[in-house]
Structures are given as structure tokens and as C-alpha cells.
Amino acid sequence: MTQTQVSQVDPQDELRAIYVAHYRFQYLSAAFEFGLFSVLAEAPGLTRAEIAGRLGLEEQPARILLLGLTAFGLVRKDGDRYSNSAITEPLASNTDQVPAAFIPYHQHITYRSMGWFHESLKKNTNVGLHREFGDDATTLYARLATDPGLERAFHNAMGGFSQKVSDELAATLDLSSYAHVLDVGGGTAVNATKLARRWPHLRVTILDLPTVAEEANARSASAGLGDRVRAIGLDAFGDEFPEGDYDCVLFAHFLEIWSVDRIRAVVGKAARAAGPNAGMFVVTPFQDDAETGPQHAAELSAYFHAVASGEGMVYTPKEYESWMSEAGFRPAGRAYVNNLVDHIVISGVKSGDAGRTAS
């Protein structure tokens, strides 16, 4: 076959695949909630009638469900019998862990809110969150605290991802020359405990909301690391950071949630809290400096703006480097995180005593 004979994707076919993508997800989500993939893992080769009986479905709904799953390649049909496909085999067990945990997360959180994406862009706030979940909270994180079902779906999805992130951070970050890390927005000490185990000389102080800090301290204590990993409860934007002998600042999956003004403010606070010649590491998903992708950056940016906070997005590395420079940190390099999609570590070094003046 010559180069001119290589078939190309018809733009109209590609367009159609985009505007009907929600059907494929809804078939996937419905089958997952029915437990179909677990049923087929236990008893591959069931007939439609047998599947309907096990799921408690009447014939017509079962026929519709299996038609869509087969058409979209989510199950295989051999004769009149059905089995999981390679796509859905991982969804048959460990249903509260990644990747299975992403299905209820997207179904009950992101799909509901993203229908208001246009309005969220127009009003420059997370309209989707308010329309779907009420106006009693300005961010998704605050809203989750009032809905145990949503909170469980969110934390099941994020927990598995956080575990993978912490493993990658421990393997990627070189903290051998640092003694005390200030982990801003460090959550429940998942990253901090991994880093403390990787570097036995290291102390880590986490800054996060009071309820989160309480859980972080419990986690570090149960891990036997309470003497080296501690959390302080505060509002990272409303409160000044406590001074200490911090020679390194870590922002891991925190800054991208917020607006440019908030990022500049919180990086400035870190500069005031850190000692001379301190290091800084920003761990974040990124868009390329040319602002053309990747797709993951676009997906997360829509999520932050329409759902999570109403103000964040995935920024470019050069923007982070400029915000570091404004705060007195000289950019010191970029490193891609090996096994995380489109993630980067951006490092900086504080110049002399930059940022040590009071706010």
C-alpha cells in the first residue's frame, strides 16, 4: 500500500464519535452499577435471558443494554452468549479502586456538572456545581463533606490515583539535600509519609484545612512517623504560613485548582516562610508552553472550572516558572513524572533571602 492509499479518518465520522460519546459511557456506567462485569467474570458465556435474570431486568431493557455493550465493544457476543471484553475485564473486581472507581466518580460528579460548561465559561465560575449540587458550597471539596455518597465516590477515585502519585513522587523527587519540607495542601499525608520513608532524615510539615490536618496527623502517627511528619490546620489563602526551618517547599496537585492571583499569593507566602536557598517543587499536570494540548490538560481544565473550584485550570510550565521568579525562586529545571499521564515536576531555588520580608 502506498502512502497515498493509506486511509484517513473521515472528519464527519470523527465528529459523530464526539457527539455520541456519552452513550458509550452511559452503557458502561449502567452495566457497572448493575454489576454485570462481575457477573460475567464469575460465569462467562451467559445468555441474554440468564443475564436478565441475574440482574433483575425484564427482557427489553436487558436486550437494549446488551446491544449497546456489544456495539461499543464493551462485551463480546459469541453466538447467543456474552463475555467481558479486554476493556471491561479490569472492572469485574476491586470495584472501589481505580480504574473501576472512576466510573461512579464521573457518572455522579463530572457528568452531572459538565452539562453546564458553557454557562460556567460565560459566568467565569463553577455554575455546574451550583446547578447540580446546590449553592451551599463554593467548591466541590466543601460540598462533598455534606454528601457521604458523593464523598465516597470521589475519594475512591482520587485515593487510588493519589497512591500512584505518591509512589511516583518518592521515586522522582531527590530530597537528599533537604532536611525539612513544607508540604502546602498536602492532604492526609499520603505523599508525606512516602517521602519520609524514602528519606529517613527528612521532616515534613503539612499545611491543610483543620479537618484534613487532623486526619493527616492520625495517618502519620499510625505509620510510626508522627515524630517526623506533622500537619498544621489553616486556610492557605486566608492565613500566613507559620515560620520554621523549612529548606524546601512542595506543592503537589494543589496550585492548578486555583486562579492565577491565588497561586501568586500562595507562592509568595511560601517564599516568606522558607529559609535562604530553599528549594521548591511544583508537581502538577501541565499543558505545553505552546498551549496546544495535551488532551488531559483540556479535560482537567474544564473540570476545575465547571465543577471543582470555578477558577483553576492546567497551566504551562513557563507560567509556574514566572510565578516562582516573582517570589524570588530561580527556576532550576523540569522533570517529567515517568508513569503519570502528562505530569511534570518544576523545580526552583530561592535566591538568598528573597521573600523573607513580612507581608
What tens digit of pLDDT does each residue of 100-123 get?
999 999 999 999 999 999 999 999
Query: What mean pLDDT is predicted for residues 52-75?
Result: 97
Query: Tell me: the pLDDT tens digits for 299-329?
Result: 999 999 999 999 999 999 999 999 999 999 9
Residues 350 and 331: their CA atoms lie apart, in Å, by 9
Contacts of 332 (CB under 8 A, 6+ apart): 279, 347, 348, 349
Q: How much is the pTM?
A: 0.86
Residues 216 and 221: their CA atoms lie apart, in Å, by 9
Cβ proximity of 116 and 306 under 8 Å = yes
Contacts of 286 (CB under 8 A, 6+ apart): 297, 314, 315, 316, 317, 342, 343, 344
Taking all residues of the chain, what is their mean pLDDT, rounded to a whole number? 91
Q: What percent of the chain has pLDDT over 70?
A: 95
Domains present along the chain, CATH in parentheses: 3-91 (1.10.10.10), 151-350 (3.40.50.150)
Residues 272 and 279: their CA atoms lie apart, in Å, by 13
Residue 283, beta-bridge partner list: 252, 345
The torsion angle over the Cα atoms of residues 323, 326, 329 and 333, rounded to 10 degrees, is: 40
pLDDT at position 353 is 53
Query: What mean pLDDT is predicted for residues 48-67?
Result: 98
pLDDT(359) > 50: no
Query: Tell me: the pLDDT tens digits for 18-57?
Result: 999 999 999 999 999 999 999 999 999 999 999 999 999 9
**Per-residue confidence band for 269, with pLDDT thresholds at 50, 70 and 90:** very high
Residues 288 and 315: their CA atoms lie apart, in Å, by 8
